[in-house]
Amino acid sequence: MKASSNENDIVLDAYCGCGTTIAVAQKLNRRWVGIDITYQSISVVLKRLEDSFGQHALQSTSLDGIPKDMASATALAHKKDDRVRKEFEKWAVLTYSNNRATINQRKGADRGIDGTAYFMVTKTDNDKIIFQVKSGNVGEKDIRDLRGTMEQERAPLGIFITLQEPTAAMIKAAHIAGSYRHALMGRDYDRIEIVTIKDMIEKRKRLEMPLSIDVLKSSEREKQLSQPALKFNEPLPEIPIPRVTMKKALLADPKAREQRRREQVKKSKTGA
């Protein structure tokens, strides 16, 4: 990239995948355009930019082709092609989790799990959050089904994301599921949280619980900050380098040793 472009030039990656080209362009002060067919790849790129360059990189990034209002979200959710419709589920899960959840890649029956995320409960143990996304009609049965899936998966928390507004019976069923006490955070969370796409778009509602990946990276950053910084202007300590004379080098060669032995024998005979 250094050889073929200058600062402020535009770099295009039409299949940006995990975002290596994008990250290098950002680091080298190039403007860039990244394209990919799935939001999951876009999510990876956004997460990579945030981890490498901070929130400022995300704030200066413009996203096209994803839902930005209810009309575009509804259009994506109601696509006839099932592969495209799955992109709605991926977008919903990853957007609500700030690109930190994992998408369920299983084809066919997904057991009612569209995504998962993990949060730290102790310094050594994690627990699971299950995400389920619905774009059609929803009712109380969906909440009961999610609760059953949570029990099967031993997940204490579930997030139900819906395009339609929840019914009063759904809200009541979620409330009956009770709350979860997070000891590390010192607060209670609803065991089942109902989130609407409208709230995600218009109120920018996002998952508030810090996930395990955030805790680990925060700890790693603190560890790096606590380490003494390298001082590049100080001279490096001198390291003694063993000196090898030509004589020692020759004696290390078997042929050279034999030649020297013959010369010594010949010299001793001449001296005698």
Q: Which of 6-15, 181-190, 195-204 has the lowest mean pLDDT?
A: 181-190
* Residue 141 counted as domain residue: yes
Assess whether pLDDT exceeds 70 at residue 201. Answer: yes
Name the band, by pLDDT with cuts 50, 70 and 90, for residue 260: confident
* Residue 258 counted as domain residue: no
Helices (H) and strands (E) in the chain, counts: 11, 9
Assess whether pLDDT exceeds 80 at residue 234. Answer: no
Looking at the fold, whether 150 and 207 belong to one and the same domain comes out as yes
Q: What is the pLDDT of residue 258?
A: 76
Name the band, by pLDDT with cuts 50, 70 and 90, for residue 190: very high
Looking at the fold, whether 106 and 160 belong to one and the same domain comes out as yes
Q: What is the pLDDT of residue 218?
A: 44
* Residue 146 counted as domain residue: yes
Q: In the structure encoding, which two tokens stand for residue 73, read together?
A: 């979200």
Report percent pLDDT > 90 for the chain. Answer: 56
Q: Greater confidence, 241 or 201? A: 201
Q: Greater confidence, 204 or 268? A: 204
Q: What is the pLDDT of residue 185?
A: 84
Q: What is the pLDDT of residue 272?
A: 52
Name the band, by pLDDT with cuts 50, 70 and 90, for residue 219: very low
Q: How many domains does the chain have?
A: 2
Beta bridge partners of 271: none
Looking at the fold, whether 84 and 207 belong to one and the same domain comes out as yes
Distance CA 173, CA 84 (A): 31
**Closest among 56, 55, 47 to 18, alpha carbons compared:** 47
* Residue 234 counted as domain residue: no
**Mean pLDDT, rounded, for 176-202:** 94
Whole domain around residue 50: which residue ranges? 1-64
Q: What is the pLDDT of residue 265?
A: 74
